[in-house]
Amino acid sequence: MDHLYDPDVQHWLDIAGIFVFAISGALLAVRKNFDVFGIATLAAATGLGGGLFRDVVIGAVPPAAFTDLGYFVTPLIAAVFVFFLHPHVERINKAVNVFDAAGLGLFCVTGTIKAHEYGLGLPASAALGLATAAGGGVLRDVLANEVPSLLRWDREIYAVPAVVGASAVALLIHLGELNPLTMTLAAALGFVLRLLALTYGWRAPRAWRRHSTAADEG
């Protein structure tokens, strides 16, 4: 299989994405007062969930999470780190959001690239980039008994930054301009958009002319 560029770079970007997503999952487990097993479970689900879904869809089986020791161990390291060194309770929510945004930016890029390398067209590759970026967060929220941020109107936009980052990668591939610098910029674009959404409260619109009398759920 032809790689768009150095596979070692992609590997370490995957590791970085797994780590920051696992940190966000472990921090949410701390906020939910989970025990050490719950912290490790949420860290692993958040770090590996999106990549597992992507690999199964594109036929990269067994998934990298089960064939690369680094992928498997990284969430556990993140869980240990959070278990002993998590910030003060009042700072946990902010930390979860920052690490989640970083993982979103990294995984929308690496997910799009890997899907394209396995023969998918650019639109489908970008869609799997979104799934890679959002899948772990959705699984984390479900396991923590929360409505996923991806689906909540009362939360800042979550999917849009990943869509923008993944689409930027697809465009760079189409133009033949994908390299470590432009890929880093695409990841930074998704990351910054998510942070701006959190800072300024950007939300996606709800249904046009919505007149439901049902109470909004927080």
Give the structural domain span for 195. Answer: 7-200
pLDDT at 36: 95
1 found inside a domain: no
pLDDT tens for 83-140 read: 988 766 447 777 778 888 998 999 999 999 999 999 999 999 999 999 999 999 899 9
Kindly tell me if the per-residue pLDDT of 174 is higher than 60: yes
| pTM recorded for the entire structure | 0.84
Query: Is the residue at 213 inside a domain?
Result: no
Residue 13 belongs to some domain of the structure? yes
3-state secondary structure the chain: CCCCCCHHHHHHHHHHHHHHHHHHHHHHHHHCCCCHHHHHHHHHHHHHHHHHHHHHHHCCCCCHHHHCHHHHHHHHHHHHHHHHHCCCHHHHHHHHHHHHHHHHHHHHHHHHHHHHHCCCCHHHHHHHHHHHHHHHHHHHHHHCCCCCHHHCCCCCCCHHHHHHHHHHHHHHHHHCCCCHHHHHHHHHHHHHHHHHHHHHCCCCCCCCCCCCCCCCCC
Whether residue 44 has pLDDT greater than 80: yes
The answer to whether residue 208 sits within a structural domain is: no
In a domain, 218, yes or no: no
Determine, yes or no, domain membership for 68. yes
| pLDDT for res 211 | 64
Residue 207 lies in a domain: no
- pLDDT, one tens digit per residue, over 177-196 is 998 899 999 999 999 999 99
What is the number of structural domains in the chain?
Answer: 1
Q: Is 214 a member of any domain? A: no
The pLDDT confidence band at residue 158, using thresholds 50, 70 and 90, is confident
Lowest mean pLDDT among 59-63, 102-106, 184-188, 207-211: 207-211
